[in-house]
Amino acid sequence: MTRTATQGLMMIGMFVALLLVTAVSIVKFDGEGLRGVVIGAGLGVLNLALGSLATRRALRTKMQSAISTVAGGFIIRLVVLVVMIVAFRRSRAVDPTAFALTFLIFFFVYLGLEMVMVERSLARTREAV
């Protein structure tokens, strides 16, 4: 793994730790808060599963395809995050802060996984040449 990738993973780890500390200190784990955490974690796990499958598939073809998949997935995740936060703010049945913080934790975990997958793909390409 390159130095840049290692530093990137360290930064992602710090973001995850910071988000965890923030979530524990801000979120009230009552009914609304727990619903937000559960929905955020559920969408986060779904994002991890579907995103890793799509990225692996894209990395098997061309790097241009992989970059398009990564960028497109990033935009889709941001749109989902904003739409869900707005919906939860209007409904008041789910704590939007709990949802957002939990989803962002999984978002950064997935970002780290994506970074590792791209780095490994590039390493295989360098070895083949």
Give the span between the Cα atoms of 63 and 90, in whole angstroms: 41
pTM of the model: 0.85
Give the span between the Cα atoms of 88 and 53, in whole angstroms: 29
Structure letter (DSSP) for residue 19: H
Average pLDDT taken over every residue of the chain: 89
Q: In this structure, what token pair is assigned to residue 79?
A: 């749109």
Give the span between the Cα atoms of 72 and 106, in whole angstroms: 17
With H, G, I as helix, E, B as strand and everything else as coil, classify residue 26.
helix
Q: Are 51 and 73 in contact (CB under 8 A)?
A: yes
What are the helix (H) ranges across the chain?
3-26, 31-59, 63-91, 96-128
**58-115, pLDDT tens digit by residue?**
888 877 877 888 888 889 888 988 999 999 999 889 999 999 999 999 999 999 998 8
Structure letter (DSSP) for residue 129: -
Give the span between the Cα atoms of 55 and 23, in whole angstroms: 28
